[in-house]
Amino acid sequence: MRSDHSVGWGAVDDGVVERLRSIVGAEHVKTDDGAVAAFSRDATPLFAARPDVVVLPGSTAEVAEVLRLSTQRRIPVVPRGAGSNLAAGTLAQDGGIVLVLTRLDRILEVDADELLAVVQTGVTTTELAAAAAAHGLLYLPDPGSKTVSTVGGNVATCAGGLRGLKYGVTRNYVLGLEAVLPTGEVIRTGGRLWKDVAGYDLTRLLTGSEGTLAVVTEVTVALVPAPADSRTGVAYFPSLADAGRAVARVIADGVVPATLEFLDNKCVNAVEDFAALGLDRSAGALLLFGDDGDPDTVGRNLERMAQSCAKEGATGVTLAQDVAASEALLEARRCSLPALARLAPVTVLEDVGVPRPRIAEMVGRIDDIAARHGITVATFGHAGDGNLHPTAVVDPSDGGAIDRTKAVIGDIFAAALDLGGTITGEHGVGAAKLPWLADRLGADQLALLSRIKAAFDPAGILNPGKTGS
C-alpha cells in the first residue's frame, strides 16, 4: 500500500547521501545491495520493500539532523530497532531511509532506590531485564521476541507478553521518553515520576504509535522488586471450552494469575513432535497457569488454580515444585512457534484479541475458517487477556495457498471484531493490518488519527503507509 503522500517524495540522490554521511559518519550510511536487502524485510512473512538507504545514527542529535533533512526534502524515514516486527511495521514501502537505532545501545542508569531504569532506545529487552536483575529488580514486560527486540521497538508497538492480565503491558511501565519530532525538535515526555499530569499524556500516545509520530531515542521505565518465587502448573482438558470454563473459575475464585497460557490440540502435537516434552497428545487443550510473589501465596494460588481446573474436568494437572520445573513447563508455550514453523515453509503468526470468556468460541471460529479455506491453522495464546495467536502453516508451492491464507486472515479479523475483540493485541497494525483498521475504529476515529499524525509530522515522512497515513 502506498500512502497519500507517495506522490512527490524527494529523491535520495547523491547529495542527500553525502549529507547523511556528514551527519552520522560515512561508515553508518549503507547503500550497497547487501545492506539494503537486509533491511528490506522484518519478521513479517509475505512482506518486503526496499529502502534507498540505511542510516545508523549514533546520538539523539544525529537523529534530529537526519529528520530535519528528511522533512525538508520530503524523504520517507522508517525507524527500526531489531526488525522483529510481525506486522510489516518497519518496512520502507515508499523507499527512502531506514533509520536503524541499534547503535543507541547504552544502559544509562538503573536506580534501585527510585525503582527505574533509563536506557537508550536500541538496548534489547533482555539486556534491560538483566541490568534490572543485577539490582534484584524485574522489568515486567516480556514480549516473545525479548532476546532480540529493542526497548524502543517495545515502546513503538506497546509490546505485550505473558503477564498482561496481572501486570499489564509496556505502556504500564514507561515513565518517560526522549523523542525527536519529524521536524527535528527533541522533546522529553513524562519523566521519573509515577504521578505526573502536566500536559497531555504524550508518553502513552507515543507508546504504540509504531514510529509514525516521532522517533523515540531514550526510555525511562519502572521496575519492581523481583518476586521471591514464581511457579507454574499445567492442566489438560478434553476441549478448549472446558479450559475456558476453568479460566473463568480461576478468576471467580479471586486469583489473578501472572501466567495463563493455552495451546490447542494442534499446537500440543506440533510441540510434542518438535521437543518430545511428554505432553498429552490427546488433549483438546493445554493450559499453563502460574503466579509469582511470596512463596506461600504462590503455592496457595497454584493449588487453588489446580482445583479450579480439576472441577472443570481437567484430565490431568501437574504443579511444578520449583523454578526449574516451571521453566520446563513453560517450554511447551515458548516452543509453539518454532514447532509450528517446522511444519511448512511459511508460518504466518497472527495476533487478535477477544474478551476472555469468548476465547473458546473464537478458536472454534478460527478452526471453521481454516477448514473452509483448506489452510492449517493452529492457535495458542494468552488465556488471561484474550490475546490469541492463530498461526497458519502454509506451503506456497501449493497453488493458491498464499491467497487462501490471506482470506483466512481477513475472516479471522472479522470474527474477532464480531466477538467484541480487536485485530491486534500486541504486534501492532503496521502495513499488514492497516486495511482493517477502519473496521476496528470507524471512519471518524481513523480521520482523527490522521489529524493527530499531521500535528506531529506535517510532511508525512515518518513511517508512511502505516497508522495515520
Residue 89 dihedral angles phi and psi, to the nearest 5°: -85, -10
**From 181, 305, 320, 360, residue interacting with its own copies (rule: CB under 8 A):** 181
**For residue 93, which of 453, 351, 432 has the smallest C-alpha distance?**
432
Instruction: Quote the least distance from Cβ 198 to its own copies, whole Å.
Output: 5
Does residue 185 interact with its own copies by CB under 8 A?
Answer: yes
**For residue 469, which of 439, 428, 436, 431 has the smallest C-alpha distance?**
431
**From 231, 266, 356, 365, residue interacting with its own copies (rule: CB under 8 A):** 356
Does residue 172 interact with its own copies by CB under 8 A?
Answer: yes
Q: Which is nearer to its own copies, 335 or 446 (CB)?
A: 446
Does residue 208 interact with its own copies by CB under 8 A?
Answer: yes
Angle at 276 (CA atoms; ends 265, 311), nearest 5 degrees: 45
CA distance 454 to 460: 7
Does residue 452 interact with its own copies by CB under 8 A?
Answer: yes
CA distance 182 to 306: 52
Q: Which is nearer to its own copies, 50 or 192 (CB)?
A: 192
From residue 365 to residue 394, the character string flagging contacts with its own copies as x (rule: CB under 8 A) and all else as - is -----------------x-xxxx-------
In the chain, count H helices and then E strands. Answer: 16, 19
The DSSP bridge pattern shows strands 107-111 and 186-190 to be: unpaired
Residues 276 to 295 in contact with its own copies, rule: CB under 8 A: 293-294
Does residue 225 interact with its own copies by CB under 8 A?
Answer: yes
Does residue 435 interact with its own copies by CB under 8 A?
Answer: no
Instruction: Quote the least distance from Cβ 424 to its own copies, whole Å.
Output: 5
Instruction: Quote the least distance from Cβ 216 to its own copies, whole Å.
Output: 14
* DSSP-H helix ranges across 74-118: none
Does residue 454 interact with its own copies by CB under 8 A?
Answer: yes
Does residue 88 interact with its own copies by CB under 8 A?
Answer: no
Instruction: Quote the least distance from Cβ 96 to its own copies, whole Å.
Output: 22
CA distance 413 to 363: 12
CA distance 417 to 164: 20
Instruction: Quote the least distance from Cβ 386 to its own copies, whole Å.
Output: 6
Q: What HEC string does 27-63 produce?
A: HHEECCHHHHHHCCCCCCCCCCCCCCEEECCCCHHHH
The window from 97-105, 143-151, 257-265, 437-445 that contacts its own copies (CB under 8 A) reads 437-445
Q: Which is nearer to its own copies, 51 or 160 (CB)?
A: 160
Residue 235 dihedral angles phi and psi, to the nearest 5°: -135, 145
CA distance 353 to 388: 6
CA distance 375 to 393: 7
Does residue 318 interact with its own copies by CB under 8 A?
Answer: no
Residue 217 dihedral angles phi and psi, to the nearest 5°: -110, -25
Going from the C-alpha of 352 to that of each of 274, 339, 379, the distances in angstroms are: 25, 20, 11
Residues 136 to 155 in contact with its own copies, rule: CB under 8 A: 136
103, 77 contact by CB (below 8 A): no
Under DSSP, is residue 225 helix (H, G, I), strand (E, B) or coil?
A: strand
Does residue 463 interact with its own copies by CB under 8 A?
Answer: no
From residue 23 to residue 62, the character string flagging contacts with its own copies as x (rule: CB under 8 A) and all else as - is ----------------------------------------
Does residue 201 interact with its own copies by CB under 8 A?
Answer: yes
Instruction: Quote the least distance from Cβ 339 to its own copies, whole Å.
Output: 23
Instruction: Quote the least distance from Cβ 266 to its own copies, whole Å.
Output: 23
Instruction: Quote the least distance from Cβ 446 to its own copies, whole Å.
Output: 8
Q: Which is nearer to its own copies, 373 or 433 (CB)?
A: 433
The window from 32-40, 77-85, 229-237, 352-360 that contacts its own copies (CB under 8 A) reads 352-360
50, 40 contact by CB (below 8 A): yes
* DSSP-H helix ranges across 284-400: 295-311, 323-334, 336-341, 359-373
Does residue 207 interact with its own copies by CB under 8 A?
Answer: yes
Does residue 182 interact with its own copies by CB under 8 A?
Answer: no
